[in-house]
Homo-oligomer: A and B are copies of this chain.
Amino acid sequence: MQSIQAIRSRLLLTSAALALAVAGPVAAQEEDLKKEHDTSPAGQYVGEYDTLGQLNLEIPGRRPNDPVINQEEYDIANKIYFERCAGCHGVLRRGATGKALTVDITRDLGYEHLHSFITYGSPAGMPNWGTSGDLSEEEVDIMARYLLLDPASPPEWGMDKMLESWKVVVAPEDRPTEKMNDIDIDNLMSVTLRDAGQIALIDGTTYEIHAILETGYAVHISRISASGRYLLVIGRDGRVNMIDMWMETPATVAEIKVGIEARSVETSKMEGYEDKYAIAGAYWPPQYVIMDGNTLEPLKIKSTRGYIYDEQTYHPEPRVAAILSSHYKPEFIVNIKETGKIHMVDYTDLKNLKITEIEAERFLHDGGLDSTKRYFITAANARNKLVVIDTKESKLVAITDTEGLTPHPGRGANFVHPDHGPVWATSHLGDESVALIGTDPEGHADNAWKIVETFYALGGGSLFVKTHPESDNLYVDATLNPDAETSASVAVFKISDLKAGEEPEYTTLPIGEWAGITEGQPRVVQPEFNQAGTEVWFSVWNAKDLVSAIVVVDDKTLELKEVIKDERLITPTGKFNVFNTRADVY
């Protein structure tokens, strides 16, 4: 294994450089990345708490140069902000998918700039609210003035709001009793059409688009119920759609809005609880909700507000990141980002709800199970750590430095390294390194939960790695790399050729070139295998008014197999193979 020194000296990117370099449709991840690194827990809102803790309170009141807005205008502005803007810019205006809009920034920009930006939008993803007619001239004016004021505290989203938003479109008794279509559901791909607020269901064999379904904005993930029947997707705006795959044309049978900003959804997988419960986690309000698995009826809401695991100061906004379903216990595994805690939520008795709250590390993000499905490995990405949880014992096993900058594993990738035995891989947002952690405490005890190998892929800005039990390849993207050629390519490592302590060769696939897109700077994101593990799909993600595509590669030959283009494929990003997602194969 190489020295860390050597790796660090070869870094192409630091987070800061990355933030300066990226542009276009990737502003989303860039802002997310910056947010992870902001260790002050919640900007304006928390600042208030911190200040109070010091007993240095500001007099409740407006400041001398505050713009003028009357109560009626303020009501209009809040309604518009929370409905249209908060999903991207964050409820506390600290930025997320969109830029931060705190007063230090907005007052620098000034009224005219804000007014123009709201009216005409930007190529980086800001909608043209004015010229599209979504907002009137008067409303744009109000919003521009509103943004010069301190952010309002965001609204709560409790059972009352959830029930108002909850719709059972097709009641369980009116749904088909058997599969009414010929779709090979297990080999279907659920593809996020980010800026369209839709998903595409694409056949994994024929590449036919079976359906385009309206969903929440920028669907973050797709998950499939344990039986394989129901597909659940969640938008960044907190809208959850439950899609019945047995219908002649799969369609939404239930939906609910679980919060104002959200990222995660999952369903119960333990034997005896298949399809019984669903769970969704929100960024705002900071909470998760357990729902009926057939109807999405909200049953139990749990707030995550509380103490940061290490310094034990109160955090008002601990956002819910990844949620997984245990295969060993009737438990959901809930990552809570800012407090660095993992909740093991026992769903056998919601009235006497048992939760084991594990002290892990800040800022928990995404992760996946090892190949035995017993261990959950998750990134605390702003701390450059991997956290390992034993889902059988509901306990922390290890916290390991990845030796890279900002690990971003997605679900990660499990394979057997020729020298090190079973490992799980993550790439990094902040550098070009790929880290392998040993995952076999019985067969390879010396390697267990240690970084056994670090090697280099194309460059920094990677979002996902991927392999499959049937594949000998490890794919590593570089989606957020500022270099257009790099961000449009993918590195492929031959697993059986890997050797301990030796820098491996890799093959570079020019996915963007294969897509044949001439305009824009399409970025290649998220390798995803078909069910059989014979093909890998890549999204070629362009701006929303330009052509995007999905490129399918033969895993054995590494040759182009198909380019899927369709005018409906607007900004494709995440893709989720139904079987691999359901069975946690990655």
Contacts and interface: CB of A to CB of B under 8 A. Distances in A.
A158 interface: yes
B301 A55 contact: no
Nearest to A351: B359
Contacts of A287: 307, 314
Contacts of A156: 49, 52-53, 313-314
Contact of A75 (B55, B82, B314): B55
A86 to B, nearest CB: 11
Contact of A53 (B59, B152, B158, B307): B158
A149 B357 CA distance: 40
Contacts of A285: 314
B307 A301 contact: yes
Contacts of A159: 307, 311-313
Contacts of A160: 53, 311, 313
B352 A395 contact: yes
A187 to B, nearest CB: 39
Given A49-B156, A352-B396, A358-B352, A60 B62 contact: yes
A176 interface: no
B301 A312 contact: yes
Given A158-B307, A303-B306, A307-B301, A152 B57 contact: yes
A55 B71 contact: no
Nearest to A152: B57
A63 to B, nearest CB: 9
A504 interface: no
A302 B313 contact: no
A193 B366 CA distance: 55
A531 interface: no
B311 A303 contact: no
A349 B395 CA distance: 10
B152 A52 contact: yes
Contacts of A311: 158-160
B394 A352 contact: yes
A557 interface: no
Contacts of A60: 60-62, 149-150, 152
Contacts of A158: 53, 307, 311-314
Given A53-B155, A59-B71, A313-B156, A355 B357 contact: yes
A78 interface: yes
A351 B59 contact: no
A415 B135 CA distance: 71
Contacts of A353: 356-357, 359
A153 interface: yes
Contacts of A303: 305-307, 314
Interface string A192-232: 00000000000000000000000000000000000000000
A112 interface: no
A79 interface: yes
Contacts of A445: none
Contacts of A349: 395
A353 B395 CA distance: 9
Interface string A38-81: 00000000001100111111111110001001110011001100
A504 to B, nearest CB: 38
A332 to B, nearest CB: 15
Nearest to A390: B352
A397 B69 CA distance: 55
A354 interface: yes
A156 B305 CA distance: 13
A158 B154 CA distance: 23
Interface in A481-499: none
Given A52-B153, A357-B355, A359-B351, A61 B62 contact: yes
Interface string A14-41: 0000000000000000000000000000
Contacts of A55: 75, 78-79, 82, 155
A149 B58 CA distance: 12
A175 interface: no
Contacts of A78: 55, 57
A301 B305 CA distance: 12
B53 A161 contact: yes
A56 B153 CA distance: 11
A301 B314 CA distance: 9
B57 A75 contact: yes
A175 B150 CA distance: 55
A312 B350 CA distance: 13
Given A153-B48, A355-B355, A59 B59 contact: no
B56 A75 contact: yes
A343 to B, nearest CB: 10
Interface in A157-194: 157-161
A54 B351 CA distance: 28
A216 B82 CA distance: 45
30 contacts: A49-B153, A52-B152, A52-B154, A52-B155, A53-B155, A53-B158, A53-B161, A54-B155, A55-B75, A55-B82, A56-B75, A57-B152, A59-B71, A59-B74, A59-B149, A60-B62, A61-B61, A156-B313, A160-B311, A287-B307, A300-B312, A301-B307, A303-B307, A351-B396, A352-B358, A352-B395, A353-B357, A354-B354, A354-B357, A354-B394
Q: What are the 4 closest A-B residue pairs judged by CB atoms, nearest first?
A: A159-B312, A158-B313, A303-B306, A61-B62
